């Protein structure tokens, strides 16, 4: 994240959010001066607000003097719909998929123009990969990202493809025409495939989790060694997991609607 420019008219809430926004998967712990610089705040202001966050347990001060996310902020995150609804519903299906494949298994959502990884299962034989829980990667270069992008609205896809696209490897598809054809193929066959587009030596296969209107809620994927992958054999297992999660989410939403309208006892 690039450093921010301090805004004298910034509210206290905005400054606190700027402090929290400096923490990400690449910056899990930081010194006070790093926080102040990345948030675009005077050191004295950062010192005061960080102190209040520590007192609330939103941040915690480590023995080395650096700060990290505190237990209270973690507790707040656990009551959000991403955890209570999506992750809890998906985890049994992800565990079944992992047991069947023994490969890296992911659950991801779209956040803006990136894919956000919200759950990951891996074992000793799984290929090393760069994605982590809470990590973000380009939509067009990942299996889960392509599965989501393929089912987004035409307007979103056009806007996304009109932007300069990163090329993490020489094999990443960034040409709009090729990418459109790839996304159309993804929709037809029901799953996405990337071969060494994010990391050399790996291949990913992913399927979307769709709601009843056909909009993408999330995606399930697996990342394997390129030399040992057979997308045609792996895809049915991944699609089964995605469809199971979608059905469970839909059933839970239906049950909640009945409770809200008083039709259940």
Residue 3's pLDDT is what? 44
Burial of 127 (0-12, 13-18, 19+ CB in 10 A): middle
Q: Which of 217, 222, 195 is nearest to 206 (CA)?
A: 222
Residue 64's pLDDT is what? 93
Residue 205's pLDDT is what? 95
- Given CA atoms 22, 27, 28, 32 in this order, what sign does their dihedral have? negative
Residue 226's pLDDT is what? 81
DSSP states along 67-92: EEE-HHHHHHHHTSHIIIIIIHHHHH
Residue 4's pLDDT is what? 47
What distance lies between CA 100 and its chain's CA centroid?
23
Helices and strands in the chain: count of H runs, count of E runs: 10, 9
Note the pLDDT tens digit of each residue in 249-261: 888 775 554 444 4
CATH node for 80-259: 3.30.450.40
Q: Which of 223, 220, 222 is nearest to 241 (CA)?
A: 220
- Sheet of 67-69: strand order equals 29-30, 67-69, 59-61
Q: Which of the four CATH numbers 3.40.718.10, 1.10.10.10, 3.50.50.60, 3.40.50.720 does domain 12-70 have?
A: 1.10.10.10
Q: Which of 121, 137, 183 is nearest to 158 (CA)?
A: 183
Domain ranges (residues) in the chain: 12-70, 80-259
Residue 126's pLDDT is what? 61
* Residue spans of the chain under pLDDT 70: 1-9, 75, 77-84, 124-133, 228, 254-265
Angle at 20 between CA 84 and CA 32, to 5 degrees: 140
How many CA atoms lie within 13 Å of 85's alpha carbon, on the beta-carbon side?
14
Residue 72's pLDDT is what? 82
- Scanning the chain, the segments in alpha helix (DSSP H) are 12-21, 32-39, 43-56, 71-78, 81, 88-101, 143-149, 154-161, 176-189, 231-260
Contact 20, 52 (CB under 8 A): no
Residue 53's pLDDT is what? 93
Residue 79's pLDDT is what? 65
Residue 218's pLDDT is what? 95
């Amino acid at each position: 994240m690039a450093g921010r420019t301090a805004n004298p008219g910034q509210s206290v809430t905005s400054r606190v959010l700027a402090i929290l926004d400096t923490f990400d998967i690449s910056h899990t712990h930081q010194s006070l001066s790093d926080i102040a610089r990345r948030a675009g705040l005077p050191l004295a202001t950062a010192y005061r607000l960080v102190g209040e966050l520590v007192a609330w347990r939103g941040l915690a001060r480590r023995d080395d003097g650096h700060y990290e996310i505190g237990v209270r902020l973690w507790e707040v995150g656990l009551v959000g719909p991403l955890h209570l609804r999506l992750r809890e519903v998906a985890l049994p299906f992800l565990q079944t998929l992992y047991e069947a494949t023994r490969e890296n298994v992911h659950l991801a959502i779209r956040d803006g123009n990136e894919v956000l990884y919200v759950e990951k299962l891996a074992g000793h034989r799984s290929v090393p990969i760069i994605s982590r829980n809470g990590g973000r990667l380009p939509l067009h270069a990942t299996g889960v990202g392509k599965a989501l992008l393929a089912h987004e609205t035409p307007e979103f896809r056009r806007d996304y493809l009109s932007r300069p696209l990163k090329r993490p490897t020489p094999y990443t598809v960034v040409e709009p025409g090729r990418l459109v054809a790839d996304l159309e193929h993804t929709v037809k066959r029901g799953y996405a495939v990337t071969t060494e587009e994010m990391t050399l030596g790996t291949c990913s296969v992913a399927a979307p989790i769709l709601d009843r209107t056909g909009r993408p809620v999330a995606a399930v994927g697996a990342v394997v060694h390129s030399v040992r992958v057979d997308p045609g054999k792996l895809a049915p297992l991944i699609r089964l997991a995605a469809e199971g999660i979608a059905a469970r989410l839909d059933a839970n939403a239906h049950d909640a609607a009945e409770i809200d309208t008083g039709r259940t006892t």
